[in-house]
Structure 1
Amino acid sequence: MPLIQPSVPPLPPGIDLSGKTAVVTGATAGIGLEISRLLLTLKVSNLILAARNVSKGETVRQSLMSDPVVKSTNPNATIKVLKLDTENYSSVQEFASSFKTEFTDLHLLMLNAGIGTMAREFASTGHEKNIQVNYLSNALLSLALLPTLEATASKTGEPARVTWTGSRMHMRTSLTGKLALKQGEGLLKHFDEAEGIPSYARYGDSKLLGALFQLELANRYGADKVIFNNFCPGVINTGMSDVLPIYFRIPVNLVKMIMARSPQKAAWIALNAGVVVGSESHGQFLADMSVLEPCDFIKSEEGQRIQKLLWKETCAEMGGLIPLPAWMTGPN
């Protein structure tokens, strides 16, 4: 990424989300909060804030309802807080169930919740925490809400949308060189058990899995009912670096001082992926506002082998949690 990031244009005029329902995960701070605010100014009718801390979510809900711009443009919006802890599957399943109890339609699912822990940590599922939060829980929530998304598309006559917050860091995977995946080795097990994965690579590895999953999904599932994509907003001035060790936080914060974009501009990039770009983005990665060709690793023979393996393992993992559609488990 260049030292000076290119300028980001605002969203095109005329976007009107009246009558639509959107879910934003990681909605209480940073990019997620600004996505939520922007959705409200674009007149979304129902906004669900998925929050790990419900009390904080309620505080954010009140602040959004009292925002002068929101009050003037969308005073009748419904804003609902639902609990979602992406470190465990049961919370994801409970969120999906609670959502479907209260809402019949879903037009836009913005999967923004994410972490970037450098230490080797594990979620309650037993999986490495970055992989759990940034990939596996996103996959589960996407699939759990897919029937609702599809039903909504059938009603409206236009595709529903699922957009993941990705990262260019997926191009710097640890699955190269001495940490390459061995023949016969399980991919998820590799990330759970492998020794020596650089701390900075854990985040990128988790984002790589998201990019691979969506590419393989697009090979099997058309864009007529639901468009899936993922995007990188670039370097953004958020508090995500606050959890880093001091020796790493200082240089990261210096980089942010020099080149970081505002969370508001990140929201423009996010909703470009979520509501502006069309079927050409299905399964694709957007760098800022443009679809980017898959990186060399993904296009390589090994990358393609891992993409198929990830799909198989993800189907096995998700199939133990929710019923899967037949197109996921059939041959391709």
Structure 2
Amino acid sequence: MPFFQPSVSPLPENISLRGQTAIVTGASQGIGTEIVAQLLERSISTVVLAVRNVAKGEEARKAILGRPSVKKGMDTKAVVKVMKLEAEDYGSVKSFADDFSKEFGELHLLMLNAGIGILERDILPTTHEKTIQVNYLSNVLLLLLLYPLLTNTATTTGTPTRITWTGSRMHTSSSLLTGKKPLAPSSTVLGHFDSKESWVPFTRYGDSKLLCLLFMYEMTNHDDGGKVVQNSFCPGMVNTGMSDVLPIYLRVPVNMVKALRARSVDVAGWVALNTAVVVGGESHGQFYADKEVVEPAPWFRSAEGRRVQKMLWNETVDEMAKYTKVPAWMKKV
């Protein structure tokens, strides 16, 4: 990967999202906030900021609505609402989905953007390691809970709805893909990542993004995208506060690299919306780096990659069945 990132062209000027409803998770800062702003600039009718901290979400909402570009482009009747979503807690995910479905009759776009990158291992009351829970498992539960609304909206409008994951090229650094922490023959995928032995602080974010991609790739074997188009994107290195979790001796050099290499959040927003609203049905099941489709690494096609993908799918089916009715198409393989 070159040190300097390639330039990214702005979005087409003729995009209008009037009449559409979107959810953006992790919308109180960084890329999430920018996605909300750019949706409003393109006249989306309803957008929900799904955030863990409602007060911080309200501050982000106020700042977004104060932008001149948003005032210029937004629908004067647009609904911009902040709703609580704590991805560490399955109960909060379920409450959010229930409340949203009761209040809003349609959903055209689900942006699964919430994510964390931490350096300390933490096992949550769900029994899962925190990064895996927040970045992967809770996103899957939210997707499944809202999937009926997405399919119903597609049926009503005659146009496919969208699910877009914020992914990362860092999935290639996963301890599974590199073989540095291989999956034992007797282990489960989720059990492996919950174990202390698998913990590698600087690859755990990549581990979680690998799981998201594996799930998406397998889901395309069960759903052809005729009703709901699902894809993922990597925005590249972006100048956000994500590095703030690093200790000072690491934060300083990382911030120096960011100063030279990182993109601004508005460019990251172009990458996100290109994947979410510009590319068409051909993007179903695809991973985009910047605005280009990236072919899966050879590991995904290997016998081990295929084995892990199917194992993860089956384990995820069992996990989700504890909290919601798993749809008929989500069969074990």
TM range (shorter): over 0.9
Aligned to 2:202: 200
Aligned to 2:2: 2
Q: Distance in 1 between matches of 2:279 and 2:72?
A: 27
1:140-182 deviation digits (Å, cap 9, x = unpaired) = 1111100000000001111100001000010111014352101
Please show how residues 1-332 of structure 1 align to structure 2 within 5 Å.
1-74=1-74, 75-175=76-176, 176-195=178-197, 197-329=199-331, 331=333
- 8 A contact 1:171–1:297 mirrored in 2: no
- 8 A contact 1:231–1:285 mirrored in 2: yes
Q: Distance in 1 between matches of 2:68 and 2:261?
A: 29
* Matched residue SS, 1:195: helix
Q: Which runs of 5+ in 1 are unaligned?
A: none
Q: Distance in 2 between matches of 1:249 and 1:330?
A: 43
Where in structure 1 do 4 or more consecutive aligned residues deviate above 3 Å?
Answer: none
- 8 A contact 1:121–1:128 mirrored in 2: yes
* Matched residue SS, 1:313: helix
Q: Distance in 1 between matches of 2:298 and 2:173?
A: 11
Displacement after TM superposition at 1:190 (Å) = 0.4
* Matched residue SS, 1:63: helix
The AA in structure 2 aligned to 1:42 is R
Q: Distance in 1 between matches of 2:157 and 2:310?
A: 33
Displacement after TM superposition at 1:329 (Å) = 1.6
The AA in structure 2 aligned to 1:184 is S
- 8 A contact 2:236–2:263 mirrored in 1: yes
Displacement after TM superposition at 1:38 (Å) = 0.2
TM-score normalised by length of structure 1: 0.97
Displacement after TM superposition at 1:63 (Å) = 2.2
Displacement after TM superposition at 1:60 (Å) = 1.8
Percent identity reads 55
- 8 A contact 2:33–2:64 mirrored in 1: no
* Matched residue SS, 2:7: coil
Displacement after TM superposition at 1:202 (Å) = 0.4
Q: Distance in 2 between matches of 1:97 and 1:326?
A: 20
- 8 A contact 1:164–1:229 mirrored in 2: yes
- 8 A contact 1:211–1:284 mirrored in 2: no
Q: Which runs of 5+ in 2 are unaligned?
A: none
The AA in structure 2 aligned to 1:138 is N
TM-score normalised by length of structure 2: 0.97
Q: Distance in 2 between matches of 1:72 and 1:4?
A: 33
1:88-143 deviation digits (Å, cap 9, x = unpaired) = 11111010011011101000001111100111122331211110111111111111
* Matched residue SS, 2:110: strand
Give the root-mean-square deviation of aligned CA atoms: 1.2
